[in-house]
Structure 1
Amino acid sequence: MQHVNAFKVILPLTLVCLFSFLSANGQQNDTIPKDTTYWKKDFRGGLSFNQASFSENWQGGGVNSIGLNTNLTYKANYRKDIHSWDNTIDLGYGLVKNEDQGSRKSVDRLFLDTKYGRILNEKWTFFTSLTFLSQFDRGYEYDVEQADGTMRDSLISEFMSPAFITSSWGFEYHPVDYFTLRLGPFSPRLTVVNNDQLSEAGAYGVDPGDKTRFESLAFQMVADFNKDIAENLNLKWKYMMFANYKELEVKKLDHRLDLTLAAKVNKFIDVSVGGILLYDYDQIDELQISQALNLGLVYTYKNYKEKKK
């Protein structure tokens, strides 16, 4: 039984990457064009493929496999006088297929963020933001023993199950260009579990049978770091912490750390290693870890030049 349809997700994302590449490439000359607006735009799209195969007499062990990952990140940030408006789209999807198994997800991320800011001084800004986090496809826990003793795969997530929609209000600290810290003392969050089976089970903190959970009084902190730490070597990480004022216990604080180290081989090829550390008490009272290594085609475009220091 194949649980995921690769073409439903991989093809649209690939077409988006290709369209964005052609649009951006058609707009630029040999030098970065002058932008007469107040917008800074930053696009990054990539496609990576990995494969392994072994002969039947291979003594070292192993399993034949193929994998495909695609990702897209786009930022459009506006600055004029004391006003700012920052927007981020971060999409990723990947599949791996081992011999004698159906396709299984390796990456699945759908993240949207928009933030309005009113600059108070050189390092502080008042902000209000809206964030959406979900996934594209179904996720399974594989080979779960059932009540009748049989082994089957169990659905644990899908698009909008869960989805997290957070509105945050507070202050942002930005001491340098490559680091920001958001402190949102008022950050209500809506958790959506649209799947009937998962909502009946009370997954992701909703009451059994309900499809939403609203946490009206909450605090959110977001730390964002993105810097070229050496020539052709970029380090990027984002840490998010969420706390419900009504459940202020250490073990019930949500934590998420996304980390990526990317090295540019040439104009269109790079290699990256990344990982996610996640703790969400409403999902499971344990630390969750995800790691990925990719080598593939990448296209980047900016309508501005980084300041040299």
Structure 2
Amino acid sequence: MKNFLFYLVLILSLSSANLYAQEIDTIPINTKDLNIKLKRSPLPSRTLPLSFEPVKIRPAIVNAKVNYWKTKTSIGININQAQFSDNWKGGGVNSIAVGGLLNWKAEYSKNSYSYVSEVILQYGKIKNKDQLQKKTNDRIFWDNKASFQLSKNWYFFGSLNFESQFDNGFTYTNVNGTEIATLISKFMGPGYLTESIGFEYKPNKYFSTRFGTGTARQTFVLDKNLANGDVKKNYGVPIGKTFRNELAFQVVSAFDKDIFTNTNLKARYAMLIPYENFRYSRIDHRLDIALTAKINRFMNTSLTGIGLFDRDTGTDNIQGSQTLALGFIFVFPR
């Protein structure tokens, strides 16, 4: 038992001494002021010169061109048809109506310069049983505008505008049960050509207003016999003449924006104030509004309206036109 206790005490003593030695070996030494020199390696060393060889990389050619043009084309077709049997007691008349629409718009923009050209072509007809064919829509509209940016929202512009119709226009009267058509308008009877320069205010992409301080408008009636000697029916052109020129101040405001999902509102208001013999009653006004809702990729419904006040057309009252249509539309590019 005594030998066992002796050996146990001896082992514990040696372990304590070993732990004490380890603690001493781990004491950090400050070598800041010590002159310690490392022994030179006995092995030979040689530094070789580094050589770099240029690597030829074939430049990549990207065949890309910047296109400053944006174009959009819309083609619409509307068809309406009604058919009734001979014994139909609810009343009605057999009819078929067809309408077509073509909108083309091109925009060029580079730095401070921009150019916009827009074409609107509309034509429609309706045929009721036992009646003459009648137009439901007929318009040729071509607007061109070049502008230069002066500041954030102001531009200096020059524009050229043409407007007329495709087909003859008639008024209809019923004499002894017979429908009689009287010619009142035709292609270039009237036709309007308007040149304008001035300033444009454009605070955002969907609204703009032009102030045409220098505007000239020519009214054409190429058929001298269209009015049959009645000045009021010759659209302001003197009898025996084919055109009339006016100098005026013009204001044109345009709005084009998607007001709801798949619903677009487009409006254009034009006011022409003649400089010669100025009177408030001689100011011309025209308002075009189109509300278009997209049903699916190829179908839409549209509600359009036109308000016009122009004494040169032979009436002192406001003229109005309204159309509701459902049809197919194709837009390029998609």
TM-score past 0.5 threshold: yes
Match of 1:201 in 2: 230
What is the TM-score when the length of structure 2 is the normalising length?
0.76
Q: Judging by fraction of residues, say which structure has more strand.
A: 1
* CA distance in structure 1 between the aligned counterparts of 2:180 and 2:135, rounded to whole angstroms: 17
| Letter aligned with residue 201 of structure 1 | D
User: CA offsets per residue over residues 246-272 of structure 1, 9 Å max, x none?
Assistant: 132222111111111111011111011
1:256 is aligned to 2:286: yes
Larger Rg over CA atoms: 2
| Letter aligned with residue 293 of structure 1 | L
Cα gap change, 1:171/1:261 in structure 2, threshold over 3 Å: closer, same or farther? same
User: CA offsets per residue over residues 277-307 of structure 1, 9 Å max, x none?
Assistant: 111111111111111111111011247xxxx
Picking from 46, 51, 56, the partner of 2:81 is: 51
SS in 1 for 2:267: strand
* CA distance in structure 2 between the aligned counterparts of 1:170 and 1:121, rounded to whole angstroms: 15
Match of 1:232 in 2: 262
> Map of 1:85-164 to 2, 5 A cutoff?
85-143=115-173, 152-164=180-192
Aligned residues: 265
Match of 1:285 in 2: 316
* CA distance in structure 1 between the aligned counterparts of 2:324 and 2:138, rounded to whole angstroms: 15
* CA distance in structure 1 between the aligned counterparts of 2:269 and 2:206, rounded to whole angstroms: 14
Cα gap change, 1:93/1:151 in structure 2, threshold over 3 Å: closer, same or farther? closer
1:71 is aligned to 2:101: yes
Shift of 1:40: 1.5
* CA distance in structure 2 between the aligned counterparts of 1:62 and 1:47, rounded to whole angstroms: 24
SS in 1 for 2:276: helix
* CA distance in structure 1 between the aligned counterparts of 2:309 and 2:87, rounded to whole angstroms: 43
- The answer to whether the 8 Å contact 2:74/2:330 transfers is yes
* CA distance in structure 1 between the aligned counterparts of 2:142 and 2:194, rounded to whole angstroms: 11
Q: Please give the root-mean-square deviation of Cα atoms over the aligned residues, in Å.
A: 1.7
Match of 2:28 in 1: none
| Letter aligned with residue 96 of structure 2 | I
- The answer to whether the 8 Å contact 1:144/1:154 transfers is no
Match of 1:80 in 2: 110
SS in 1 for 2:312: coil
Structure 2 residue runs of 5 or longer lacking an equivalent are 1-63
SS in 2 for 1:285: coil
Cα gap change, 1:153/1:285 in structure 2, threshold over 3 Å: closer, same or farther? same
Identity across matched positions, percent: 44
Match of 1:296 in 2: 327
* CA distance in structure 1 between the aligned counterparts of 2:330 and 2:115, rounded to whole angstroms: 25
Match of 1:192 in 2: 220
- The answer to whether the 8 Å contact 2:123/2:138 transfers is yes
Structure 1 residue runs of 5 or longer lacking an equivalent are 1-33, 304-309
